[in-house]
């Protein structure tokens, strides 16, 4: 049967084995003696006595059988039966033939986005905000044998204005997992730094701590950091506890800092 317009270039088209009409309405459909299962009458072309038959009205499909509307006779001629592929089967798409405009996904389709499993385009990566970094405007000499709040009294950046330079605390702007970190440098002219304990307190409780024991050192860098699931309005502060011998350590303002950022989830 000719096509109007451009004929299909792909599809599982099959001309079935010849059938001989008898006094029945049901015939098994095969291709090279193997059963064929057309999905609907509409994707079959059936010619009977030189006339193309109307699907559903003149015949139906039942599994691998064609069932005519009435029984045939030996004088009838089943000219051919062709199956035009599977329902909605477009065949194998050629490489490089589907453009972004053909995709049904929502969102912005460009070089900066990727297609997610929920059929939406999203931007890769992101910005770890809120974030902040606090430093010291001057050195600090904390007392020994006690937890002392470190005087981080200025900020380099603070995306959500969460840092309080008066209280020396960062107030969590929105709940989530935060990476909180600090580095403190203490020095002692008498070479008598023995032990330094650094604390990150969140919501009034110690969440992270580290114990450094330089033993009669002139200087020591202590780094501490961790990830914690913070609630909104939790306050975060850094405290130090030093045990000194004959002298008390001083915190170097140009080498000490306190910062954090919210993780992308």
> Which pLDDT value is given to residue 256?
98
Q: Which residue has the tokens 């008498």?
A: 190
Over pLDDT 70: what percentage of the chain? Answer: 91
Q: Which residue has the tokens 């350590």?
A: 249
The pTM of the full predicted model, rounded to 2 decimals, is 0.58
E strand map for 29-94: 30-31, 34-35, 44-48, 51-52, 59-62, 65-68, 78-84
Overall CATH class of domain 131-262: mainly beta
Domain boundaries, the chain: 13-84, 131-262
**185-214 tens-digit pLDDT:** 999 877 778 889 999 999 999 999 999 988
Residues 6+ apart with CB under 8 A from 14: 31, 36, 82, 83
* Number of neighbouring beta carbons within 10 Å of residue 17: 15
> Which pLDDT value is given to residue 108?
81
**Dihedral over Cα of 131, 132, 133, 139: its sign:** negative
């Amino acid at each position: 049967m000719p096509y109007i317009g451009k004929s299909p270039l792909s599809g599982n088209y099959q001309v079935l084995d010849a059938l001989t009409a008898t006094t029945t309405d049901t015939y098994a459909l095969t291709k090279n003696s193997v059963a064929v299962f057309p999905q609907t009458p509409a994707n079959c072309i059936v010619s009977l006595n030189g006339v193309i038959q109307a699907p559903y009205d003149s015949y139906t499909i039942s599994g691998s059988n064609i069932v005519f509307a009435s029984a045939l006779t030996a004088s009838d001629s089943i000219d051919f039966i062709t199956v035009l592929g599977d329902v909605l089967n477009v065949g194998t798409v050629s490489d490089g033939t589907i453009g972004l405009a053909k995709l049904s996904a929502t969102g912005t389709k460009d070089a900066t986005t990727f297609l997610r499993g929920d059929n939406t385009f999203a931007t890769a990566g992101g910005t770890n905000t809120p974030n902040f970094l606090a430093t010291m405007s001057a050195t600090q000499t904390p007392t020994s044998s006690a937890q002392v709040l470190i005087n981080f009294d200025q900020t380099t950046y603070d995306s959500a204005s969460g840092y309080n330079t008066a209280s020396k605390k960062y107030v969590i702007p929105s709940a989530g997992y935060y990476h909180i970190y600090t580095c403190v440098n203490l020095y002692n002219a008498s070479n008598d730094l023995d032990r330094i304990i650094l604390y990150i307190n969140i919501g009034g409780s110690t969440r992270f701590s580290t114990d450094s024991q330089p033993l009669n050192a002139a200087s020591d860098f202590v780094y501490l950091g961790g990830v914690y699931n913070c609630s909104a309005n939790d306050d975060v502060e850094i405290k130090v506890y030093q045990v000194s011998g004959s002298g008390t350590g001083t915190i170097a303002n140009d080498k000490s800092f306190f910062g954090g950022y919210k993780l992308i989830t």
